[in-house]
Structure 1
Amino acid sequence: MAAALTASCSGGSPAPGGPAAAGKSATASASPAPAIKISPAQGSSKVKPNKKVVVTASGGALDEVVVQGGGKQLEGSFNADKTKWVSKEPLRPTSSYSVSAKAGATTAAASFKTLKPEVELEVADVTPNQKGEKVGVGAPIILTFNNPVSDKAAVEGALEVEAEKPVEGAWRWINDKTVIYRTAKYWPAHQDVKLTARLNGVQGGKDMYGVKDYTTTIKIGAKQISKVNTKTHMMYVYRDGKKVKTMRISAGMATTREYTTTSGVHLTMERANPVRMISPGRKKGDPGYYDVMINHAVRISNSGEYVHAKNNVWAQGRQNVSHGCINSRPDQAKWFHDTMQRGDVVDIIGTNRELEWNNGWGFWQLSFKEWKKGSALEETR
């Protein structure tokens, strides 16, 4: 009995499964709480709007990240194991943001403020886009900004064109304030096209950031295409593939380059009744000087070319006697004036003077391959 008692009181290892073994196992399986890090850090000010909000977790996965500010919840995405969350869109300038995150039982929060831009960037004008206007199938989208843009790739990347009947297109910068969208082929007729400029927070140059987004809908009307042949002195107008008007015309007399009608794909740009036309570079008394009021005039270039009314039916259909414009019978010119949409196509052939691509809206004079070379995004590829 004594031996048994001695054995039971010796300092050997506890029996497997005893109280000491259970305690040691529980201690080994305990894990530290996840740690959460937020950037920008708590209290940051003058944060650049193009900075990403980044939330990371070590020792665990993120369950939830919510970023509020600028009047909305900021969108973002997790990585595969949910240890990192990164915002997807720019921040709004001159705004306060709050960040809250949760990983298991751990929570974290931070707040920060974005800077006020020294220079604000926004859309100043979109043409053609008058209220209630329908435009032709050749119409460009001419976007003008309020300030010169130096980071054109960043700004162009914020522009989105969505058509009900999609067609390939591209932007081309013609100066630091103006960028133009043209399709590879004419727009399909009778549809809406939505333009969105997601400029908010986009850096357009040194100390310049977009301060608000812009969106508008452009309505594409009928497919109206006019074919003009200066050698046969005829003009045919087609709408949605059907010939709707045959017009006898007289074009430029071509005694000088100035008096030669340009050949190529023109777009109708504006109309007026009447238009005052004055000979360029001449003063009263000079040979060739004129100062006249012309009815029902539709501009097709910036070098003074119009389709307009002229009561010289003796020449129309027979010979070219104008200073470069296309003139037609007054009643037919009025019809054309009244039915035109900005961006309708006027395709002229028969002369040795080509329309320049940047003469008015002569953008279709460039192949689409050439057109795309003016894209800032094309340059970065």
Structure 2
Amino acid sequence: MKRRTAPSRTAAAVAALVLLASACTSEDGDDPGGAAAPEEVERGPEVEITPAPGATGVPPNTPVRVEAVDGTLTDVRVEQSTEDGVSAGDVAEEGGQGQEPEDPFPVTGTLNETGDAWVSDWNLRPGASVRVVVTAADEEGEESEVVSEFTTLESEPGHRLELASNFPSSGDVVGVGMPVIVNFDLPVTHKAQVENSIQVTAEEETEGAWNWVTDEMAVFRPKEYWDPYQEVTVDLRLAGVESSEGVYGVENHRIEFEVGRELVSTMHVPDHEMSVSIDGETVRTIPVSNGSADERFNTTTSGAHLTMEKYQELVMDSATVGIPEGSPGYYRLDVDWAVRTSNSGEFTHAAPWNAGNLGSANTSNGCTNMSVEDARWFHNQALMGDPLLTTGTDRELEWDNGWGFYQRSWEEWLSHSVTGEPQRTDGSDTPGSVHGEGL
């Protein structure tokens, strides 16, 4: 059991008060010598558990609290079962024959410094039968076990928070700038509780924080880029979190991805070239042609871009970025070896029709034009989340244009986190509580 600063020892009115006691008497209950019967001796401390035993319809974001009166807690286990055995979406390794699969999302808790109070770290599953098994010891070390059972509130159709999509996906190998992007199917108003329910763990410790692009989209980025060549795990403990009034998460999810080599591209637009380094060593300098900058729409943006997706073949239609057919500046082009760097239509791609201007003039519609050979090479090298750092134009990349999240300084990014505190990626606690306010 984890320990942190002792919480208050307020026992709820609905607490289960269990007195662990037994009486010491002679084997047959008689006292042939006529002496007074020995006094009863209590064994084990009193234990208070909330929610109360037998409680029904308990909100799943209610914390489990356990207190030992005149004793210490030596073990607390919270066991949950639903109609299907485990909550859908839980990820568990298959056990051996005859073995139960291990729950990858157990309800752990924090023990106070004096060892007599425990509170759960995570929420409970909706519609679950919950069994709390407590072992407590008195001053003489005598241990006794207490069991309390209750059930949690079912989640209602239309009031269930679901994970709609996420980037990256499990198994992906990504660049060092890769954010964790989570899209929900319903708006989230209790953002702090949801942020605190998502734990990011990396092999190389760093710190990061969440920002909300919309009420449905949350983004985690590290303070600086990830260290390369490491594994990152994202545990979304959404089951039981109250994302808005009466809306509860129903499933837990785990995302496991790998950060690959460190590929960083830099480009000063007036210089007409892009430099690509891998693990700190320049491996290619590419002649390019960027936006002609006659208008805002054909000005290449300056800022910290991240590569987002790539295509061997792509139809580029300006109508998708707000310039419909018939309007000044409309274009529709078939391009090869395209890598997206923003949501405002910027890609690196092959442009053999612009070969005469590569390395000498900026004449594109805002994209970074390359030769077929260079575009193919960059396409094949690029991973989702590789940084492309561009300077030299008067159009700044917006922080929410594509994955321009590093456009916000770390201080600004942290200030926009609802918790206002960084999250360490060492597997320690998230910055705040996942439980409902006042619970």
TM bin, normalised by shorter chain, reads 0.7 to 0.9
The answer on 1:114 being equivalent to 2:152 is yes
* Conservation of the 8 A alpha-carbon contact between 1:134 and 1:219: yes
Q: 8 Å contact 2:171–2:257 — kept in the other structure? A: no
1:266: Cα distance to partner?
1.0
Matched, 1:307 2:348: yes
1:209/1:319 CA distance change after superposition, 3 Å? same
1:126 counterpart = 2:166 = yes
Could you tell me how far apart the structure 1 residues matched to 2:304 and 2:336 are?
A: 24
Task: Name the CA distance, whole Å, in 2 between partners of 1:283 and 1:368.
Answer: 37
What displacement does 1:59 show?
Answer: 6.8
Task: Give the deviation of 1:349 after TM superposition.
Answer: 1.5
Structure showing greater Rg: 1
- Equivalences for residues 319-330 of structure 1 within 5 A: 319-330=361-372
The number of equivalent residue pairs is 358
In the aligned structure 2, how far is the partner of 1:372 from the partner of 1:65? 35
Q: Do residues 200 (structure 1) and 239 (structure 2) align? A: yes
Question: Does the alignment pair 1:46 with 2:84?
Answer: no
Which runs of 5 or more structure 1 residues have no equivalent in the other structure?
1-21
CA–CA distance in 1 between the matches of 2:258 and 2:183?
A: 19
Tell me how far apart the structure 2 counterparts of residues 266 and 349 of structure 1 sit (CA, whole Å): 11
Q: Given the alignment, which residue of 330, 339, 345 partners 1:289? A: 330
Q: Which residue of 2 aligns with 1:373?
A: 415
- Asked whether the equivalents of residues 123 and 239 of structure 2 are also in contact (C-alpha less than 8 Å), the reply is yes
Once the 2 structures are TM-superposed, how far is the Cα of residue 78 of structure 1 from its aligned partner?
Answer: 5.7
Check whether the contact 1:35–1:106 (CA below 8 A) recurs between aligned residues. Answer: no
Q: Identify the range of structure 1 (308-317 vs 74-83) with the bigger mean alpha-carbon deviation.
A: 74-83
Letter in 2 for 1:92: R
Q: Distance in 2 between matches of 1:245 and 1:279?
A: 30
Secondary structure of the 1:261 match is: coil
Q: State the shift of 1:287 in Å.
A: 4.3
Cα-Cα RMSD:
2.9
Distance 1:320 1:92, change over 3 A: same
1:186 aligns with 225
Aligned residues of 2:277 and 2:283 also touching (Cα < 8 A): yes
Give, as a single letter, the amino acid of the residue that structure 2 aligns with 1:325: C
Given the superposition, is the C-alpha separation of residues 43 and 282 from structure 1 closer, same or farther in structure 2, using an over 3 Å criterion? Answer: closer
| 1:296 match: secondary structure | strand
What amino acid maps onto 1:91 in structure 2?
L
Q: In the TM superposition, what whole-angstrom CA distance separates every residue of 1:83-128 from its partner, at most 9, and x where no partner exists? A: 6554443222111123455666987544221110222224332212
Q: Displacement of 1:267 after TM fit?
A: 0.9
Contact (CA 8 Å) 1:194, 1:217: kept in 2 or not? yes
Q: Describe the SS at the equivalent of 2:233.
A: strand
**What is the CA distance between 1:245 and its match in structure 2?**
1.3
* Aligned twin of 2:275: 236
Aligned pairs for 1:30-69 within 5 A: 30-31=40-41, 36-56=47-67, 67-69=78-80
Structure 1 residues 92, 314: CA separation in 2 closer, same or farther (over 3 Å shift)? same
Paired position in structure 2 for 1:360: 402
Taking a change above 3 Å as real, the CA distance of residues 196 and 81 of structure 1, as seen in their structure-2 partners, is closer
1:218-257 per-position Cα deviation (integer Å, ceiling 9, x unaligned): 2111111111122121111111111111211111111111
Is the aligned partner of 1:160 residue 2:160? Answer: no
1:334 alignment partner in structure 2: 376
Post-superposition CA distance 1:180-201 (Å, at most 9, x none): 1111111111111111112222
Matched, 1:266 2:305: yes
Select 1:93's aligned residue among 126, 133, 147: 126
Report the CA distance shift for 1:234/1:74 in structure 2 as closer, same or farther (over 3 A): closer
After TM superposition, the structure 1 stretch with the greater mean CA deviation from structure 2, 37-46 or 154-163, is 37-46
Provide, for residues 310-341 of structure 1, a one-character-per-residue CA deviation record: whole Å limited to 9, x for no partner: 11221111111111111011111111111111
What is the distance in 1 between the residues matched to 2:171 and 2:135?
Answer: 50
Residues in 2 aligned to 1:75 and 1:274: alpha-carbon distance in whole angstroms: 49
Say which of 169, 185, 202 aligns to 2:208. Answer: 169
Q: Give the fraction of aligned pairs with identical amino acids, expressed as a percent.
A: 40
Cα 1:260/1:209, change in 2 over 3 Å: same
Structure 2 partner of 1:224: 263
Q: Give, in whole Å, the separation in 1 of the partners of 2:349 and 2:199.
A: 37
Displacement after TM superposition at 1:133 (Å): 2.6
Per the alignment, residue 250 of structure 1 pairs with 289
Superposition deviation, residue 135 in structure 1 = 0.9
Q: Per-residue deviation at 1:260? A: 1.1
Structure 1 residues 199 and 320 mapped into 2: Cα distance closer, same or farther (>3 Å)? same
Amino acid at match of 2:279: D
TM-score, normalised with respect to structure 2:
0.73
User: Cα distance 1:82–1:230, how it changes in 2: closer, same or farther (>3 A)?
Assistant: closer
Point out the more displaced range, 45-54 or 179-188. 45-54
* CA-to-aligned-CA distance 1:36-68 (integer Å, 9 cap, x gap): 554333322101112233445557666765543
* AA of the residue aligned to 2:287: R
Distance 1:32 1:66 in 2: 24
Q: Match for 1:240: what amino acid? A: D
Measured after TM superposition, the shift of residue 203 of structure 1 is 2.1
Q: Give the whole-Å Cα distance in 2 for the aligned partners of 1:188 and 1:102.
A: 43
| Aligned-partner Cα distance in 2 for 1:101–1:283 | 67
2:366 maps to a residue whose letter is: G
Kindly state the Cα deviation for residue 35 of structure 1 after the two structures are TM-superposed.
5.2
Aligned to 1:14: none
**Matched residue, 2:91:** none
